[in-house]
Chains A and B, each alone.
Chain A
Amino acid sequence: MSEELRELYQQVILDHNRHPNNYKQLPCPTHTAEGYNPLCGDRIVLAMALCGDIIKEIGFQGSGCAISKASASIMTSAVNGKTVGEANILFQKFQTMITSDLGTRLDRVALGKLAIFAGVREFPSRVKCASLAWHTLLSALNEPVSTQ
C-alpha cells in the first residue's frame, strides 16, 4: 500500500470509523442540520445543545465513508465544550490544513487530534468527505431549533 494511502487510512481514522464518538441522538437539541454529499451519498444529521454560546452537547448520526465518519467523530469531540467562536476558528484551521499545499505549516497545537486528517490534501476528491461534518456544523449553528 502506498505511503499516501497509509497516511489517509491511519489506524486512528479506521477506529473512529468503526466506533465513532458522539454517535447519538440528543434529547433536546437547540440546533440541528442535515449535511449531504450528493457525489457519494454521504449523509449526516448533526444536533447540538448550546448554552449561551458554548456547545454543551453534540451528537451526529448518518452513513458515509470512513473519512467522513471519522471526521464527524473527531470534530464533535473537538468542539464539545468550546464556544461558537472557537469552533469557527478550528474550522478555518481544519479547512486550511486539508486544502493547502504540502509546504504550508500546520498549527498542530491548535488542531490537536484533527491533525490526522492532514493526509486528505493528497486526495482532492476526498476533501468534501472530510469537511462534510464541519459544513453541517456551520449550518446547524445558523439553524436554531424552533421552540414554539
Chain B
Amino acid sequence: MSDLLEDHAVAEAVFCPIDVFDVDVIRDDFPILRRRIHGKHLVYLDNAATTQKPQVVIDAVQEYYEQQNANIHRGVHYLSELATHLYEETRQKIRQFINAGSDKEIVFTRGTTESINLIASSYGKAKMGPGDEIIISTMEHHSNIVPWQLLCEQVGAKLRVIPIDNDGDLVLEEYYKLLSEKTKLVSIVHISNTLGTINPIKEVISAAHKHDVPVVVDAAQSMAHLRVDVRELDCDFLAFSGHKMLGPTGIGVLYGKEALLNAMPPYQGGGDMILSVSFEKTTFNELPHKFEAGTPNIAATIGLGKAIDYLLRVGHEKIAVHEDNLLEYANEALAAIPEVRVIGQARQKTSVISFVVDGVHPHDIGTILDQNGVAVRTGHHCTQPLMQRFNVPATTRASFALYNTREEINHFIEAIYGVIRLFK
C-alpha cells in the first residue's frame, strides 16, 4: 500500500490555490477551447448543459484505464486495492467539498436525475401515501418534476407548486401557505438552469423544518459556481452531477443525512450493495454501499475528484467574481439591443441568460450562432412549465463558465446583431 500513499502525496502537492485569476491561463487547461467549429474559434456558451473538462480530468480518466483499471471492493490484488482506494478517496473529497458529516452520506449515482429518482423510489415509496403532498417550484428541471409525478401516481400523493414572479424569483409567501401537515417533502432547485435564479434555499429549508418536512436540493447548477455547505444549509438531501462541474459524464452524487439514508430501503439490488445473500434472505450492506448496486463508473468518479481539486485550486470566490463580471457585461450589451428581451431578472443570479429576439425563433438563432462558432442552447431547457409561465415556446440561453471571456461575449453579441439584420 505504500505505492498508494505515494500517489496520494502527488495529489496533495498540486493542491495549492492560485494567487491571481488569469483567464488565459485557465483557458490553457481546457484543450477543447483550442478547436475550431465551422472554421471559427469555438465560443462555448452552453455551460449550463455541460461544462468542458480540464486536462487534469481528461488525464485522470485516461490514466485510470491505462494504469489503474480493476474492479473495486472485490479483489485482494494490487490494482483492485488501488482502484478502491482512488474511488473511496474521491468520496472523502466530496464529503469535504460539501462539508458532509460522514462518508456514509455520499452516495455515487449517474447524476442528478438518478439521485432524485433514488429518493423518489426509496424514500418516497416508503414514506408517502394517499393525500400526502410534495412541494416543488415552477422553475424545476423535468428531472425534479417527473420522478415526483410518477411517485404521486403510485402512492396517491399530490404535487404542489410554488409560483414565481415576473422576475423569476420564488414567491415565498405562497410557499409558506403551501406548507401544511399534509406536506411530506419539499424538493427545490438551488439555481435555475433556465433563469440563473439563485433561490433563498436556507429560508426554504428552515420553513420546511418548522413543519418537520425534509428538503431535497437540486444542486445540479451550483457546484461550478459557488460553495455549498450541506450542514450550514441543513438540507436533508442534495443532488448534483459531475459533468456540470468540469467532471466527466456518468457520475453524480446524492448526499443524504445518515439517519434518513439508514432508514431507507435499497434502490436497486445487485452486487456491492449486500453483505450476504442466500435464497432465503439477503442482508444489505452498510451505507453508502447499500445504494450502490453493481460496478460503478470508477473512471468518472476519479475524474470528478480531479475536477473538484481543480475548482478548489482556482477558488469559487475568484470564479464567482469573474462570472459575475461576464454576466454584467453581457447583460449590458443585450440591453442595448431593442429586439432582445431577457427572461429572468432575479435578485440573485448566476451567469445564465435566457432571452428571446423579436420575430426570430430561438432555433434559427441557434443555427446561425453555431455557424459563427458560438454554442448556445435553444429550446425549453427541460423546463416546459417554466416556459409556459413566461408564455414563450422556447428561449435562447447563453451560460458562462470560468473560462469564458469578454471577447467571446463580443463575438456572441455580434452574431446576435447578424441574426437581427438577416431577419429584418
Q: Are B367 and A40 in contact (CB under 8 A)?
A: no
B269 interface hit (Cβ, 8 Å): no
Find chain A residues with CB under 8 A from B422 CB: 1, 9, 14
A residues 95-123 in Cβ contact with B at 8 Å = 123
Alpha-carbon gap, A66 to B378, bound state (A): 14
A129 interface hit (Cβ, 8 Å): yes
Known: A1-B371, A5-B368. A66 touches B423 (CB 8 A): yes
Q: How large is the interface on B (under 10, 10 to 19, 20 to 34, 35 or more residues)?
A: 20 to 34
* 0/1 interface trace, chain B 383-407, chain A, CB 8 Å (1 if under): 0000100000110000000000000
Q: Are A129 and B393 in contact (CB under 8 A)?
A: no
Q: Are B387 and A126 in contact (CB under 8 A)?
A: no
Known: A40-B394, A43-B393. A67 touches B368 (CB 8 A): no
Alpha-carbon gap, A66 to B368, bound state (A): 12
Q: Are B371 and A40 in contact (CB under 8 A)?
A: no
Find chain A residues with CB under 8 A from B38 CB: 2
Contact segment of B244-252, B278-286, B323-331, B356-364: B356-364
Q: How far is the CB of B66 from chain A (nearest CB, A)?
A: 34
Known: A1-B371, A2-B38, A41-B380. A63 touches B393 (CB 8 A): yes
Q: Are A41 and B393 in contact (CB under 8 A)?
A: yes
Find chain B residues with CB under 8 A from A41 CB: 379-380, 387, 393-394
Find chain B residues with CB under 8 A from A14 CB: 422-423
Find chain A residues with CB under 8 A from B315 CB: none
Q: Are A65 and B361 in contact (CB under 8 A)?
A: yes
Q: Are A40 and B362 in contact (CB under 8 A)?
A: yes
B418 interface hit (Cβ, 8 Å): yes
Find chain B residues with CB under 8 A from A18 CB: 359
Find chain A residues with CB under 8 A from B387 CB: 41
Q: Are A65 and B368 in contact (CB under 8 A)?
A: no
B394, closest chain A residue (CB): A41
* 0/1 interface trace, chain A 123-144, chain B, CB 8 Å (1 if under): 1011001000000000000000
Find chain B residues with CB under 8 A from A67 CB: 363-364
Find chain B residues with CB under 8 A from A126 CB: 363, 367
Q: Are A64 and B361 in contact (CB under 8 A)?
A: yes
Known: A40-B378, A63-B393. A8 touches B361 (CB 8 A): no
Alpha-carbon gap, A67 to B387, bound state (A): 22
Kindly list the 5 A-B residue pairs having the minimum CB-CB distance in the complex, ordered from nearest. Answer: A41-B393, A65-B361, A65-B363, A41-B394, A40-B363
Which residues of B approach A to under 8 Å, CB–CB?
38-39, 359-364, 367-368, 371, 378-380, 387, 393-394, 418, 422-423
Which residues of A approach B to under 8 Å, CB–CB?
1-2, 4-5, 8-9, 14, 17-18, 39-43, 63-67, 123, 125-126, 129
7 A-B pairs, CB-CB below 8 angstroms?
Answer: A1-B368, A2-B371, A40-B361, A42-B363, A43-B393, A63-B393, A65-B361
